[in-house]
Structure 1
Amino acid sequence: MITELRVPDVLLLRYGELALKGGNRASFENTLVRNLHGALKPLGGGTITRRWGRIQIQPEGRWREAMKACAQTFGTKSVSPAWNTDRNLNSMIAMGRTLLANKLQEYPPEARPTFRVTVKRADKDFPMTSGDLAVAIAEGMLDDDSPVLVQMKNPDIEFNIDLRPEGVFAFLDRLPGPGGLPVKTLGRGLCLLSGGIDSPVAAWSAMKRGLKVSFVSFHSPPYIGEGSRLKIRDLVRVLANWQGPSKLNEVQFAEIQETIRNGAPESLRTILYRRSMQRISSHLAHRSKTGALITGENLGQVASQTLENLACIGAAANLQVLRPLITYDKEEVIRLAKHIGTYDVSIREEPDCCTVFQPRKPALRARADECETVEAELNLSAIEESVVRASQMERIHPDS
């Protein structure tokens, strides 16, 4: 007979890199707790308690959704649903037998999953060592006819006892988190979001390093339709699942592209587009006290992404430009895009503004001084100031 398993008493959240932050650790932990509160708010909230090396979460309801939300919060290494048990051997064995019996329902009757017990004993006043307690629990949990096979290395099922001064917690599963640093611990970044596969992954990578990321997109009606705008919003909505509500700036770019088409060398068009985007984004970043631009640029992924062109484009910005994907190959980027949920949106067939008036043979080694001469002749700065003033910002919320 299988004992019905009650709702978990607590979610145990572990963090990795935060533990290395020394004197800044408390500040980083506090930011993580604030971000967790934000992630849980749409689900009814919950009680969050900091303990040394752990964060304990008691959601108000919908614990599975709460666990998923916590596992999508940067700074989280893993999350486990855990059950309180009494501080004695028989209670731990009883809880272990209940958890194991319920877990075995996930396997076919003929399965012989491997198994072990792991004990972490932060409470050193407990009279048994971690090893002795693990052996005693395993002996009490397993009958002669038990279908599981004991295996100490990489078992299919691992019953964990976390023995701490504030209580004894039993659990089986760990839902992995993204790791990294909590969003907002290292400042703000503005991502130039194109709608392709790369730039959303670059934004996510910057979030993982502790940046709160806002977005800017460039649109060129009537050359680019409404589908492109909707696609950008959908991408931001997916990324907001990882960092919370996110700001999107929309810039009308057609006039700048027409000016470049009519007055610049054809081979420089794409470079001049991107340099203009860098300047416009720099203005928007300074206006919101943002410390860096973020792009999905990658060295050599397309023929025009040469060192010279990237340097020429980056020179137009007046703050640092982060390129998280600079050394990634396309397969790595696609794998990450699928993991974070942006891939299916990114591959929707909607052109972005850089496809407007594309040159037949783009320059491969553009020089900043050459571009500056053309930009001055076209008086691009005046048009850029106008589109910055006319830009619109909206706040986009997660899609789940």
Structure 2
Amino acid sequence: MPVYIVTVSGEIPLRSHRTRPRFYKRLLSNLVDAVERSGGRVLGARLLEAKILVETDVDVLEALSRVFGVHRAGEVAVHEFKSLRDLAEWAGREARGLVSGRRFAVRVKRSGVHDFTSLDVAREVGAVLKPYSAGVDLENPEVTVEIEVRGGRAYLYKRVVEGPGGLPTGVEGRALVLFSGGFDSPVAAWLTAKRGVEVDFLHFTLGSPRATYLAFKVARELSLRWLYGYRPRFMVVDFRRVVGEVASKVEWRMRQVALRALMYQAASRVAEKEGFDAIVTGESLGQASSQTLRNLEAVEAVAKPVKPVLRPLAGLDKEEIIALSRRIGLYELSSKVPEACAIAPSRVETRATPVEVERELAKLSQGLLDEAVSKMAVHDVLSTKPEYVIPSSDLEIDFIPEGALIVDARGWRGVEDGAIPGSIPLSKLDLEKPSVDRVVVVVCDTGSISQVVAGMLRERGFKAFSLRDGLKYWRREAVRG
């Protein structure tokens, strides 16, 4: 039965005596969630001053080390000792493999009343371990044997993993993150969650649904790896009609700024309706022309968000953001998310004024934003498959989601005649048993027949799409999600 000692972030013990219990309670709840998501059960847990002892039925060290509010987590061996000699001999048996052939040091922390000191324990254990090692080195050891003595029990650390620190997710309220899935917004979400905030994701579909699909995969990975204690949501607002109007009606140099203001306004409405405490963006000051200080000032002045706008990346450059993306395990997925095409043909405004932004927004159709927000789709990140966030209004898609059932609507000719590997002919699809847990993508040579077939399958209950431009597109592009 694995036993772990979780050292809490240094900020938590410094909280007032009235606030501290709430932080510990939430941290423990998040730790339990981390264990259960890893397929285990918490068999016991108790507070040891600024540490939490957790007993489980499976190895969950990595999961515990990814819970915000954790300074570090260590798997420990536990022993109820009868004497100092008994303690030293037990520690020798547990740690001889750790020090074998290496220089070592023993560090001891002790609490309670004993007839020996921490230094006595270190000396006795060191003497037992020395024959198995390359010698004692207190200045520059290759391995450190850590022991905690609490009352009549000793805890010897076998493995230790550093945690992210911060505050337990949930103690500082809820925030809505404007989420594209690229490098910036996931890191902004992570940094916000690290400060004790539950984050949900607001994604705007600006073009191909492939970007929405890939953004959801990033949000899902972020949630599975780091966001414990609640169920994050992924909210999708189809902004393609909004983008179309901005591109056709707004002066070209103001388009990027106007689109950003519209996103702020949409986020503000969602935040107010859903009861969020803040809005979070992945903006880094000056990183893009639309993110200059003057433009951000103008956007906020016009959008008038009802909640505070947090920008965790404001002072970071791109290299720092990418380094964080790698550190938190999202770089590979984020690198696959396509950047939205710029809607301005050349240099955009970098010093917009509120008057200019308001003038351009006035050119758009009334009710445009309300209509987009009213049709927002909400997905549970932990239980939704990525392919199910593709807007149902799209009959055609320009990619094949991972795990999709590919149905060839042509006369069956086989792989040697250009069929997509793994696809099946339409004749082999059971039309009376719609798949409820798998997306169907229909293909043909040009994408025309497949549209008709996909529409027919939808009428029969399938979640079906047609591959745009068919096998011509497949042969030309790497379209698999």
What TM-score comes out, normalization by structure 2 length?
Answer: 0.74
Name which of 22, 31, 37 aligns with 1:27.
22
* Corresponding residue of 1:109: none
Match of 1:201 in 2: 187
In the alignment, the residues of structure 2 paired with residue 163 and residue 261 of structure 1 have an alpha-carbon distance, to the nearest angstrom, of 68
Alignment of 1:89-100 (within 5 A): 89-100=84-95
1:347 aligns with 2:341: no
Q: After the TM superposition, list the runs of 4 or more consecutive aligned residues in structure 1 that deviate by more than 4 angstroms.
A: none
- Per the alignment, residue 108 of structure 1 pairs with none
Is the partner of 1:175 in helix, strand or coil? strand
Unaligned residue ranges in structure 2 (runs of 5+)? 385-481
Match for 1:121 among 80, 103, 110?
110
Alignment partner, residue 439 of structure 2: none
Match of 1:229 in 2: 212
The SS at the match of 1:311 is: helix
Point out which structure has higher relative CO (alpha carbons under 8 A, 6+ apart).
1
Q: Which stretch has the larger CA shift, 89-98 or 314-323?
A: 89-98
Match of 2:279 in 1: 293
Match of residue 291 from structure 2: 305
1:384 aligned partner: 369
| 2:40 match | 44
1:362/1:119 CA distance change after superposition, 3 Å: same
Give the structure with higher Rg (CA).
Answer: 2
Task: Give the whole-Å Cα distance in 2 for the aligned partners of 1:137 and 1:157.
Answer: 14
Alignment-mate amino acid for residue 350 of structure 2: L
Change (3 A) 1:398 1:339: farther
Q: Deviations over 1:86-128 (max 9, x none)?
A: 32223332333233333257xxxxxx533111111111x1111
Q: Which residue of 2 aligns with 1:11?
A: 4
Give 1:242's aligned residue.
Answer: 226
Q: CA–CA distance in 1 between the matches of 2:363 and 2:258?
A: 13
From 186, 196, 205, give the equivalent of 1:219: 205
Superposed displacement of residue 186, structure 1: 0.5
User: Structure 1 pair 364/96, CA: closer, same or farther in 2 (3 Å)?
Assistant: same
The answer to whether the 8 Å contact 1:158/1:172 transfers is no
Counterpart Cα distance in 1 of 2:159 and 2:178? 38
Does the CA contact (< 8 Å) of 1:115 and 1:157 recur in 2? yes
Match for residue 392 of structure 2?
none
One of 51, 66, 71 as aligned partner of 1:54: 51
Which residue is 1:72 aligned to? 66
- Which of 315, 338, 348 is residue 327 of structure 1 equivalent to? 315
- State whether structure 2 residue 264 is matched by structure 1 residue 278: yes
Give aligned-pair identity as a percent.
28
Q: Supply the RMSD in Å over aligned alpha carbons.
A: 1.9
Deviation at 1:228, TM superposition (A): 0.9
Do the aligned partners of residues 378 and 166 (structure 1) sit closer, same or farther apart at CA in structure 2, a change above 3 Å counting? farther
Q: Name the residue aligned to 2:157.
A: 171
Looking at structure 2, the residues matched to 166 and 207 of structure 1 have their Cα atoms a distance apart, in angstroms, of: 38
Shift of 1:183: 0.4
Structure 1 length as normaliser, TM-score? 0.89
Correspondence for 2:408? none
Amino acid at match of 2:354: A
Q: Give the match for residue 3 of structure 1.
A: none
In structure 1, runs of 5+ residues without a counterpart are 1-6, 106-111
Q: Partner of 2:347: helix, strand, or coil?
A: coil
Letter in 2 for 1:350: P
- Name 2:98's counterpart in structure 1: 103
Instruction: Map 1:144-163; keep pairs closer than 5 Å.
Output: 146-163=132-149
